[in-house]
Structure formats: C-alpha cells, structure tokens
Structure 1
C-alpha cells in the first residue's frame, strides 16, 4: 500500500472513529434517553420528513410517532409495561416498525419472532420470550397455528392486517386509541439497562437463543451505523432484510431513523426488482448481508442498475472475490463492511473500504477498543492456553478466535455483553481468566486474522473449519476459490465424516449455471488455487442453495447427509485418487469409500 493511500486511510479512520466513539459515549452518559425519545423529538422538530416508504405509502415522522402512540396506549390497556414482553411476528411493512416502537414506548419489551419459523422452533422462541401476548400479522396465522399446541402457557393473539378466527382483531382496537403525545411519566422507571427487544439467533446449530437488547445497546447499534455511514436527514436507506433480525431491523433502520432520514421497506429481497426500487425511491444507502450481493451479480443486466443514487452499501459477508466486481458493475462508490453479532461486544468497521477486510484497529488506537485474537485449537474448539494458564495472542496474519473484553466503561462503549434471556446461555459465551485472573471476555465463535496494518479479515466460523490430513481447512477460503470458477453461482463448503479416516473430508455443495460443471477444468483449477488437503474430496450439485432468512448458508443438514447417494437425490462426485478425476458416487462406490478401499 502506497504512502499516500496509507495516510488517506489513517485520516478516514480517525474521522469515522471519532465520530462513532463520540456518539456512543454520549449515549452511555445519558442513562434516561431511549430510541422512543429520539423519534418523539424528530416528530416535533421534523414532523413532515418522511420516515418510512413502503410500496405506495409514505409515513412522516409525525404519523409514525402518532401510530406508535396508539400501540403504546394499547399495551398499557393490557396492564403491561416495564419488565413485560410482547411477541411480534409480522412480515416487513410499516406496521412492524410502528408496533415495536409502540411496545417500547410503553416501557415493555418486544420479542421479534423469525417469520420463517413453524412448529417446535417457533414454540421454543415464544416459550423463552415469556410473552403472554403476541401481535401477529394475518399473513402468518398459519405458521402460528402449527406451534399453538406446543406452547407452555396460553397466549392472547392479536391479529393485524386481516381477521383470523379465534384471535382478537387488533386494528379496530388501535383505531380507537389516541395518537396524541403520551403522558410524560409513561416510561418514568425505564432506564437504558432495561430490555427494549429480544432478537433471536439464527439457530443454525440448535434452537435459537433470545439475545437481550437493552435500550443502551439499541441506541449504540443505531448510532454506530449512523456515524459510520455519516448519515443525514437527506439519506434514504433501502431495507430488503427481515426486520426481525438486527441487521435489517436495528442497524439498517436506525442508520436513518435516528437522524431524520428515511427507510424504504420491501417485504422480501428481490434481485429482479432491486434496481427498480432503488431508482423509484431515490435510495442513497442499502444494507446487505450474506450472499445478497452475489445474487445481484448473478442476475441479467438491468437497465437501471447504474442509474441509481446509491452512495454507499453497508453490511457484512461481502466476499473478497466479488467485492470489486460488485462495485464496478453497479457503480457503488463506497462499501462499508462491518463485523459484529446481535448480542456480541466485538464491533469492527472497515471505514476506508479496503477490499476483503471486515474492519480495522490501528496499533495506535488499540487502547480504545476491546478486541483481541487468540491462538485456537481447531480439534478441541478451544483457545490455546500457555504454561501459565492464560491465552496466547495470535501472531499477525495468524487465524485465531476473536474475543471481546467485557466491560461497562463509557470510554470503551462497545464492551458491554448483555447476554440472553436465559442466564445459562449467557455463561456459555464467556471465557474467563484469559490474560489475567478475574477478567472476562466474550467468545465470538469466529476465526479472524489481523494483519500488521491493523486490518481484520474473517476466516471462518468455529465448527465450520475442520481438520483434514493434519491441516486446518477454512471453509470460507475454499468457497472463495470455488466461487470464481466459471459457471459457479454459489458454493457452500463443509466437512463430512468418512469411516476410518481422521478428521473430516472437504465437501462442496455447488449451484451451477445450467446445473452442470466442467469437472476436469474445475479439478485442475482447484489444484492450482488450493493446497492439496483443501481441494474438495466430494462435490454435490444442487439446483438452489438453502439459506436462512438472513441469507446465510445452511450446513447442518448437508453435513448430516454427507455423501451417501441413498440419502441424496442430487449428483454427487468423488475426487478419485486412482483415476485422478471427479467420478459419480453410486451405492457401489460409496461402499468402497466407506470400507477404506480408497486411501484418502
């Protein structure tokens, strides 16, 4: 990196970091201010600014605030307030943001329920919320009905957007409430330490956990993104991510709703309609996650894809191999990649847009942040401790687990860890006696590396990285190499068990154009791009990739199915060490592999 570029990056970091830290420190020092106060102030000072665009509707800040006041009065009429929880399950639309704002205006907590859940997982989320009331979008009534008989306690169901037999019709009840300013003492006992929201983890490795989002965390998350993007009231954030998750429902909406700008809501992400919406609503910002940017790159050229007013894309999971092609094709001036988790206390931002990096902390700024990377034992999935019993810091560019020191110091405002609704789940994420007796650090569960300039790079999720032939295989790095091969639309890499073999063999599930790959060229390319131990042993060609509601690849079921052709209807291939090519796996070959006939 040239000297001029490095100086420019330092200046960018200083400006953005000071802006962010200043906002976060101010929030921590004002213990009574909440997001409800922010909206009430904007409704008074900028009443005609548009807060929410949705389809053919536009809600001003005055209207947004008034509608939320109706919800708050309804909550109070149910005898609910501080310490009580109301579950919310609804697809993306303005009523979603109105509902949870109204719930927190009344001092209660909104549990944001994943709209994709049904049956046991949905019942689990409702049970651990401790909510006795649920606000349910009529479009999700069938989902709710699959879980109703598994609830640990009866719930009062309030339906909005239509009528459902056996449920209360919430809309006429709300219409009968006043939208006038709420009594000054409606939240008199609520502090920033009280819970505003419960947001659930994705549940990819088990049942979802309800992450606590106190008012202080809600405010700091929103403020960090407003500061990082340098948002103003002229900005319009396009939100295609689900509002039940922190990326779309807190970070994205908070970027503009804290400064008097607008959010543009869409029910669900559509690559086909993305650029039409961006141009129609004059979006200046949009938030991505996971594979969303790859989906856009895989679409046919759109006549409006370079006629938008987007100045910045913010999110996490933009893979290095598509970073520059994405920016170039769609004329995106700036990308702000970040790293963080809903409940975590490790927060990083790549302010200067260095491709592939998820954030940066220069050595001279280290004291202001709480992040360390420690050496990690892949096989035992635990940080490595030295002879003195303490963890060992990773070397520059060495992959290790990212940890965040748990503090409650306004000088390091990202240090809080508020945990989950269930205390036993909270303790599992805390690592103690890390560098000294009595200290406590949050375990991110992610492998990162940091270079000598302070840039952080995501390596893999712990549990995804596996050992094969005595080496650690990072699934993200293999997926990156596969994804640039011609004809590959998506790649999901994981390790599978092979009887009699040490470690796990690499397997890649691939979505290919026209459903097929040139396997000879693919194998040759992988041998050039990857070390021998990282070249996938098995391939699985799928018509489409199964993802979570936030566009993260699902792996649990793929790992369970392995490479057994009797369990998988799709084509499976084996990198045969004898024929030196990928060959189809049938039941006969499967038996030979499992019997150890091939020395893998």
Structure 2
C-alpha cells in the first residue's frame, strides 16, 4: 500500500493485480452454475466422492470424516427424514453446538427438500420459542447438552423432538434411527433432487428492529457462496480450514464449510473459540486457512505471546469486522501472509471484498466490475433512519467520505442467486428491507441497515448500524428485544436500551437506562425494593450473554420525545463514562458492581474483561 498526495491509501500495481486475480478466480469458480444449472450442494456430494473419496472432509470432536463417509451419512439422514414422512418444504429446526454431525444433518435433510432452521444456541426462553414457532417447524433436533433449554419451555414446541447424543428424559434418540438406514445414493424415484430455487436453510438475523427474523437461503445462494469464496480463497484439496465460528451463522456454517467441500478441502470444526487453545489447535490440525470475525483476532492479540503463534501453516485468514489496528498487530504477531476481509448480508444482495489487504477497509469493487456488482451509499436522515430524496423523489448518492446507508441492486434469480432478495418468513419484515424508485422509476434495491463511507480510492469502511440494532461480540443485538426483557423484571418501571462505544472494542456494548419503583439513593446504590442480582438472573434466563446489558444506568426519569416516546440520544452520547446518574457494570464474576471513576478508567484502558 502507498499514500497518494490526497492522503488516500491506494493499492500498488502488484496489489491491484493480485486482487483482480482473486475476483477472476471467484467468477470462474461460479461458472459451474452455468455448466450445471440444477446443481446443489447436497446433490453434489455423491459426485465429490468420486473425486475426493477417502480425503478428509470434516474433523472435530474426535471425529475425522472422509468425503465417502460424509456422503453415506447424508444419505442415511435423508432416508431417516423420509421415514419420518418429511415432505419437501417442511421446516425442521436444528439446535446443536458445533460438530461435524451438524453439517451432515442439514445436508441430509435439505437433500430431500426439507428447510432446516439453524437455531442460535445462545437463545433461551421466549426468544428460543419465538425462533422455533415463527418458522412453523414440524420437528426439532436438539443436542443432548442443550435439552435443558427445551425442557424449560412448557408448551409451544413441535410435537416431534429428537435428541442427538446422550440426554436425560424420554425424547427419542436420533442416532439409532439414522444408523438403521441405507447409505447408498438416493434415486430419483425415492426423492427428486432439490432445485437451486428451492429453499434450503433459515438463518436468523436480528435485522434492524424486533425479535430475530428467519432469513431464507436457497440452494442457489448456498452454491454461489460456496464457489465464490472457494475462488476468493483459491481453495485447494490440500487446504484445511479452521472454523470456530457458530455453524448456525452464514459465515461459519455456510461460507467456511461450503468453500472447502466444493474444492475437496477439509474443515476442522472447533466447538468454540478459545484464545488459549487457538494456536495449538491450528498447529496440531495442520490448518492453512482461518475463518474469523474481528473480535476473535482482537482476543488473540490481547493474549500473551503463544509459542505456536508463528509455528503454524496458515496462509490466509478470511472474515469480517477486523479493525485496522488489530489487523496490523495480528499480522505482526502471527505472520499470516494474507487477510481476506469481506462484508456480506446473509439475506441481501450486498457483498464487498478487500482483496488488496488494506487494513480497516471492508472491501472494494474494482471499477471494471462496478456494473456487475452494483453497490451504493445513500444520504440518510439520521433522525428518521430513512434515505433523503430530492425534489423528483429520487435518492441521493453519497460522495467520497460521506456516510450513508449501503444498498445493493436486487437482480433476477436467474442472473445471480446471491443478488436476489429471498426475504424472511415475515412478509412485513421483507417488505421493509426493499427500497424502490431509488435512482429511476421501478428499480429495486436491498437496504442493508448499515452505515458506511467510501474513500476516494473506492474502499468501503463500516461505520455503524442504522436504527435500534447494535453489534457486539460479532452478533447483532435488537434493542427492543433487550428492553422488553429488562422491563419484564419485577421492580423495573421503564427501560431504554442502546449501544455505547468502549475503547479498544469492536462494535458497541449494550447499556440499559432504567427507572425503578424504588428509585435510587444519592450514594449511588439502589434503595430497598430493587435487587440488582435478581435483575441479572432475570436477564440471563431470557437473553444470550452477548445481548445482556454490560452497563446499567439507574435514572430518576427517562427522556421522552414530543410524542411521548422514549428518547436515547442524550443517553447514548453520554455513554457509561459521562453519565450523571449511578452506573453499574455487569461484571462476569461479581454481577452488577458500581461503576466508579476507577472502574470506568480501567474499562477505558482495556484493563477489565468485557
């Protein structure tokens, strides 16, 4: 990289050439969809056996599964699903932690036309029940280690529930039924192959407001993602990708897995990320690629030097959300030769790729490909969270370094499955994500809900989320959902939730401002009648850990707008450091503790674990 006269970092000719080669590889990779227009990932597996047969496909949890064994297991699961009388289009929920069987299960069920809803394993209570009920599931497969979450829900679950692994209770086990099924390839007479336009998966996203929404993913989109990223990564049969991201997310569960499988590589699936074990697992697993989110890299550079952090074989780290300063330190510490940062919306038509390795940028579209991959930033009204329109009713594109909402052109599915909008199971939520008559009458664009800026060299930078959603620990958090949980605690009169910046951390940490029936004392402690420990327990039972507010501000009154709506602008600006009201910090070990000047300083200096 070099800095030009205007101070904009531009790519060198070598970097531009390498980036263009990556784009060309990606476009060449997806030409299979032109040659084999009816191909789908589960439909390809039996053919992959002929090429990669005994090569390792998946590893993890003490398992090592070859392509032949994976295909056989997928065929068994498909026939098991048929024995349950699952019909094409039936939704089956999958609630399991990371393991190779997770991949085999959704591939097997989608092979017979089922739609598999990948449930966030952090969810509990009402949020978990909502995710299951909102998709109209006919069945649920749950890991034995997670059955307590299901047992805690009194009613509203599907009638058919199967347990994977050992668990107490009377639910039927999945494995014995699957083991008794034939492993030979399914014939067309048994069940026709799914088509690219058919739904394959439902992946949940918080969107910009409200409870989690189930985004539809077609087989065509899964295929395009798999081959596109295989090209971007230059995936080879000799590659082994380390995947510690949740398999219920599109990056960890689709991009990482699919990109390796279609090219004969292998995926080492780790149950969870651990900064202390990361380098040992990467080295022992002989991994060549690491799929990241920026937060994981931040943990690695914050950890003490590890004896294996330069003894690895990693040639590439691929992911999103990597801040510039963390990027540079991660490369310096690890020696990883190439970073492929990207931005993509699970349900949408916007994708950006930083193939030049420019720290801090989320991507860039080469000028010669701008017409094929149309992305624009629109000037927005920050108060209304809506695009500004001119006198003719058209939206206004942002200039260089102007912050605006990113949108992507919605194309016909026959032109690009990944650039259409398949929508959510909620029709109203789907309609709100589309913007029409943007630059001309009748055009249609997908709203990302993300604010970005683009510099003069064409690089995009993520700025923030629009509306009531913030991102923390790699997850989108809907403030309305959190506020509802807070208000449900006995003693809480009202609550408003927002994200606040914390130095040295990506995204925004959750903060709740509340009023209580008891009020507060001048000394900054709660008066009798409001129990902070009870609030913490209440939230832990209803929200995943990343959505539980890290800071709590106890106010005498909350600000209201002129129409009597709760306002959060002033509270958000003041954050946790400048608040005049008592603020409490949700410590992992001690619970809510008073956030005094010393603690605020420690948090701001990175001296407290968040």
CA distance in 2: counterparts of 1:339 and 1:120, whole angstroms: 31
Offset at 1:266? 1.0
Kept in 1, the 8 Å contact 2:354–2:364? The answer is: yes
Q: Is the 8 A contact 1:204 1:556 kept in 2?
A: no
Root-mean-square deviation (CA, aligned residues, Å) is 3.1
TM-score scaled by length of structure 2? 0.78
Distance in 1 separating the partners of 2:120 and 2:128: 8
Worse-matched range after superposition: 286-295 or 26-35: 26-35
Residue 195 (structure 1) aligns with: 199
- Match in the other structure for 2:69: 63
Task: Determine if the alignment matches structure 1 residue 121 to structure 2 residue 151.
Answer: no
Could you say what secondary structure the match of 1:291 adopts? helix
Question: Which of 96, 109, 120 is the matching residue for 2:102?
Answer: 96
Q: Distance in 2 between matches of 1:408 and 1:371?
A: 16
Instruction: Tell me the SS of whatever aligns to 1:100.
Output: helix
Where does residue 341 of structure 1 map in the other structure?
A: 345
Question: Aligned pair in 2 of structure 1 residues 460, 476: CA closer, same or farther (>3 Å)?
Answer: farther
Deviation per CA, 1:248-280, whole angstroms, max 9, x where unpaired?
100111121111110001111111110110010
The answer to whether structure 1 residue 295 and structure 2 residue 283 are counterparts is: no
Contact 1:460 1:476 in 2 (8 A): no
Per the normalisation by structure 1, the TM-score is: 0.79
Q: Deviation per CA, 1:342-398, whole angstroms, max 9, x where unpaired?
A: 111101111111111111113332111121111111111111111111100000111
Shift of 1:465: 10
Residues 476 and 26 (structure 1 numbering): CA distance in 2 closer, same or farther, change over 3 Å?
farther
Looking at structure 1, the residues matched to 507 and 205 of structure 2 have their Cα atoms a distance apart, in angstroms, of 23
On the 8 A contact 1:370/1:415 being kept in 2, the answer is no
Rounded to whole Å, the distance in 2 between the matches of 1:477 and 1:115 is: 25
User: In the TM superposition, what are the counterparts of 1:450-599 in structure 2 within 5 Å?
Assistant: 450-463=454-467, 479=502, 482-483=503-504, 492=508, 554=547, 558=551, 563=579, 564-565=581-582, 569-572=592-595
Alignment match of 1:243 (pick from 244, 247, 257): 247
For residue 572 of structure 1, report the CA deviation from its aligned partner: 3.5
Match of 2:79 among 60, 73, 84: 73
Q: Per-residue CA shift, 1:402-452, capped at 9, x if unaligned?
A: 001111165556421111112221111111111111111110000111122
How does 1:306-385 map onto structure 2 within 5 Å? 306-385=310-389
Q: Find the counterpart in structure 2 of residue 21 from structure 1.
A: 27
Tell me, yes or no, if the aligned pair for 2:139 and 2:160 is still in contact at 8 Å. Answer: yes
Which residue is 1:532 aligned to? none
Deviation at 1:5, TM superposition (A): 4.8
**Is 2:233 the partner of 1:229?**
yes
Secondary structure at the aligned position of 2:155 is classed as helix
What do the CA deviations read for 1:532-555 (whole angstroms, capped 9, x no partner)?
A: xxxxxxxxxxxxxx99xxx99648
- Looking at structure 1, the residues matched to 601 and 45 of structure 2 have their Cα atoms a distance apart, in angstroms, of 59
Q: Matches of 2:394 and 2:287 in 1, distance apart?
A: 49
C-alpha contact (below 8 Å) 1:32/1:192 kept by paired residues: yes
Q: C-alpha distance in 1, partners of 2:166/2:349?
A: 40
Contact 1:396 1:450 in 2 (8 A): yes
Is residue 2:425 matched to residue 1:421?
yes
Q: Give the superposition deviation at 1:13.
A: 2.7
Shift of 1:92: 0.8
User: SS at 1:129's partner residue?
Assistant: coil
Query: Which of the numbers 178, 190, 197 marks the counterpart of 1:174?
Result: 178
Q: In 2 relative to 1, CA 266–41 (structure 1 residues): closer, same or farther, beyond 3 Å?
A: same
Which one is further off, 455-464 or 199-208? 199-208
Q: Does 1:260 align with 2:260?
A: no
Contact 1:120/1:150 (8 A) holds in 2: no
Which segments of 5 or more consecutive residues in structure 2 lack a partner in the other structure?
5-9, 471-497, 516-538, 555-570, 572-578, 586-591, 604-610
2:557 is matched with none
- Structure 1 residues 552-561 or 7-16, which shifts more? 552-561
